[in-house]
Amino acid sequence: MSESSVDALTAARQALRERLLAQRRAFVADANCLPARRAALAGHLMSVLGQLTPERLGVYGSVQSEFDAAAACLADEALEGTPLALPFAFRQPVRMDYRHWNRLPPTLRDECGIAACDGAVVVPDVVLAPCVGYTASGFRLGYGGGYFDRWLAAHPHVTVIGVAWSVGEVDEAELQPQPHDCRLDCVVSELGVR
């Protein structure tokens, strides 16, 4: 792929990301519908996790109008004994680890400013991945840093569940998945499981 093609793809993805983030902000701003949407997404997510019964679950600290999957997992009695882990992102070199989370309010921020903890480095067998966008075929659009894609490429045996609001679904042609994009095992939204 030529440099100009890479630049054009990068620009197109950034424009798509900005559009989807704006749509997501508007979606969660609807205070009348948000509680029901949160409850529906939590219900679908817990149903999937109940089928998987993870040995260790990787959750995430929510930012920018994401669904708060960590809070939903903490509130679910069926996951009470399941060890949890939070990601910790490093900017140089770009990488991400998961750290054991004792379920107490996170006391640290990673190098991207996201809530994190100081537990031992672990490898969850099931990971929840927040999505800015996603396709019906399971490709994910994140924030553009490549943290999840790098971690997933290094841990191909892990089950990956995308977590998103339904307004983030896009056509595969619009996303233009690249060889480095890792496919999710499923995506859970307030509308169900894809």
| 12-29 pLDDT per residue, tens | 999 999 999 999 999 999
Report the pLDDT value the prediction gives residue 146, as an integer from 0 to 100. Answer: 85
Domain ranges in the chain?
3-193
Q: Which two structure tokens, joined as six digits, stand for 12?
A: 């197109």
Return the C-alpha torsion angle 179, 181, 145, 122, nearest 10.
-120
User: Which CATH superfamily is 3-193 part of?
Assistant: NagB/RpiA/CoA transferase-like (3.40.50.10420)
Report the pLDDT value the prediction gives residue 129, as an integer from 0 to 100. Answer: 96
Report the pLDDT value the prediction gives residue 2, as an integer from 0 to 100. Answer: 67
Closest listed residue to residue 42, CA positions, set 86, 76, 87, 66: 76
Rg over CA atoms, the chain:
16
pLDDT above 90: residue 164: yes
For the ranges 2-11, 143-152, 175-184, the lowest mean pLDDT is seen at 2-11
Q: Where are the alpha helices (DSSP H) in 30-118?
A: 34-52, 69-75
Q: Which two structure tokens, joined as six digits, stand for 15?
A: 């424009």
Predicted structure pTM score: 0.92
What separation in angstroms does the CA of 128 have from each of 15, 70, 124, 146? 25, 9, 10, 15
